[in-house]
Amino acid sequence: MILNSKQSMFTIWFPPNFFYPSIVRKWAPVIKRLKLPYESIEDFFNASIQSITMPGIDLKTVSQQQSQFEIAYKGGKELEPIYPKTLDVVFKFSEGFITYWIIFEQIEEYMKYQEDNVFWPSMYVSFLDMHGFELVVFEFNKIVPTTLSSFDVSYAKTAADFNTFTLGLRYNRFNIKRRIDDDNYHVENS
């Protein structure tokens, strides 16, 4: 029997020191007051991630006429230059919309005219097997935020809903680490 992939067999995480020090100073006490088991803003933020949208790939081809037939060949670029370098990460709102306001301030700090805030730090997405071992890890480098979705608030809405918002990102480079070689992932035949 071939198992179907579970859509939840991934982890995405923003590494330590992802948030600017001014954001950490401001929001760490707020998160500590929640009495939740998170050691840092990054831990709290990573726990609120719901999903990620990985873009599809459009493999361009070139064609050449051979007699009466048009023959297609692979395009002239390797994978990385043609791969759409966008991500949409969906987060759940937390009490008081804390997750939204943290990333809002991160973007606000990023958008200030400074020479040293050119890119956000790298982030990682790991795809796991049924045992929880990493198979493939994407490291996204030189990240630039592109969108932050809107949200609605209303006095008329009293039902407790599970609400989310989306952060759009563009990265400039990526690294793929495959963990399926003999040193990292080996199953003995019995």
* Phi (first) and psi of residue 103, to 5 degrees: -70, -30
pLDDT tens for 7-26 read 678 888 888 889 999 999 99
**Where would I find the H helices in the chain?**
21-33, 41-47, 79-82, 98-110
Residue 82 CB neighbour total at 10 angstroms: 14
Reported as a single tens digit per residue, the pLDDT across 48-70 is 999 898 888 888 888 889 889 89
User: Does residue 106 carry a pLDDT above 90?
Assistant: yes
Is the pLDDT reported for residue 168 higher than 50? yes
- Amino acid identity, residue 136? V
